[in-house]
Amino acid sequence: MNALEMSKKYEEGSLTPIALLEPIAEMIKANPYVFISTTYERAYREAEASTKRWQTMTPLSPFDGVPIAYKDLFDVAGTLTTAGAATCLKAPKAQNDASVVAKLAQFGMVCIGKTNLTEFAYSGLGLNKYFGTPSNACDEDYIPGGSLSGAAVCVAKNIVPLSFGTDTAGSICIPACFNGVIGYRSSMKRYAQQGVYPLASSLDTIGPLAKSVKDCIILDQLLRSSNEEDTCLMHDVEDMKLIVDWDFITAQNIQAEVMTQFNQCIDHLKECGVNIVEKTIFAFSDALDVIDYFGWPALAEAYTLHKPLLESDQSAFLDPRVRKRLDDAQTILASTQITLYQKMTKLRSQLRNQLRGYFLLTPTVAHMAPLIKPLENEALYYETNLKTLRLAMPGSFLDMPSVTLPNRFRKKTLPSGLLVSGVSGNDRNLLQACYEIECLLKNKM
């Protein structure tokens, strides 16, 4: 059940927000490592108030009473923000909600708790040495993806219909892809990020994971306080502007099963009358070339942020894999970092000229979710992490809002993802296009 379906049941009187809390608590207990902390006392207060509002038909929003979880980088008043790290356990509790948490609470949404993640959100695999690793919702032997592992799993397992997380290099879209749910990475600064634990300020953004694009659209309207008419149902399929850059895709060593499902998806959209243009987007491939040559700009920023911790006795409590990546970043030259920022600015401008309102289609990740057990091998862990992040990194570098849609044409396989990306600031049109694509794919899968 997605959030909008839940809301309709509230309106009908066949379900109440308060009635959901006990089943949610039972599901959280049955799925270890998905949540780091829960806020049941707050949730009961919010759900009870919401139930009364629905009984008098005075909801604060369509999502009044809908339960939501937050990646444990978001401050929730009275709770500890751990960032998935044991070193944060002695930090003071948050005095206030993060801006997004506070705003959604004003619209009646019920905060269930804070979800697990890779330590400091610093990996695309979703493993956490201290708090444990949640099982992939599709197959427990496989990784959940990261960094926001728990936020994806709790939506995929129907614990809550919505969660909210952060994204620096694929942290929303990768776990959404691996668990077969929708993830929306917003343009930077679309939503306020006060009260959110950072990783790299030049790249950090936030966004939801959901069961439907429509839910993402409504969340966007709430957070933007938008009065725009919902025109999603008015779009003609023929008017969608989609691009596939086959030169880029064929150069990426994409796993055969992922490539098969991507091709099936493109063929199906064409059969439905969607006009998909084949065009090289040089800014996108150039961004990946820059990253390959100069490195990832978040590395130096993350090292600078955590340098005091790395130099303290508390560093002994860090996940050794996370610590190694942070330590390695201290050798990055200032001149290299400046070059990265300069190229970032230039390529973002070029991308706008090259896409011209179109949306780029790529696989979300070049491979299916890998098995957890083999990743105990250090070399394989680092190699797999880089491969997992690779297709998401150019979009993050270019501040491209992106939506990953489940792409599972063969039921017996793990899900892959279709990533739809646009230029910075074109989020609303992106969400509308993805709503149409989602409807077309549902008719096939």
pLDDT tens-digit profile, the chain (445 residues): 999 999 999 999 999 999 999 999 999 999 999 999 999 999 999 999 999 999 999 999 999 999 999 999 999 999 999 999 999 999 999 999 999 999 999 999 999 999 999 999 999 999 999 999 999 999 999 999 999 999 999 999 999 999 999 999 999 999 999 999 999 999 999 999 999 999 999 999 999 999 999 999 999 999 998 655 444 444 667 778 999 999 999 999 999 999 999 999 999 999 999 999 999 999 999 999 999 999 999 999 999 999 999 999 999 999 999 999 999 999 999 999 999 999 999 999 999 999 999 999 999 999 999 999 999 999 999 999 999 999 999 999 999 999 999 998 767 789 999 999 999 999 999 999 999 999 999 876 6
In contact, 362 and 421? CB cutoff 8 Å: yes
Q: Tell me whether domains 3-223 and 237-443 share a fold.
A: yes
Residue 71 annotated among the catalytic residues of the structure: yes
Q: Which residues of 366-397 are buried (b: 16+ CB within 10 A; e: fewer)?
A: bbbbbebeebeeeeebbebbebbbbbbbbbbb
Maximal CA-CA distance, the chain: 62
pTM beyond cutoff 0.85: yes
Q: How far apart are CA 413 and CA 266, in angstroms?
A: 18
Tell me if residue 114 is catalytic.
no
Q: Prior bond to 99 cis, omega within 30?
A: no
7, 71, 402, 421: the catalytic one is 71
7, 123, 171, 396: the active-site residue: 171
- Per the document, the length of the chain is 445
What architecture does CATH give domain 237-443?
Alpha-Beta Complex (3.90)
CATH fold of 3-223 reads: Amidase signature (AS) enzymes (3.90.1300)
Residue boundaries of the structural domains of the chain: 3-223, 237-443
Using alpha carbons, select from 180, 177, 145, 148 the residue that is nearest to residue 165: 148
**C-alpha to C-alpha distance for 386 and 350, rounded to whole angstroms:** 26
171 is a catalytic site residue: yes
Q: Which of 135, 147, 396, 416 is catalytic?
A: 147
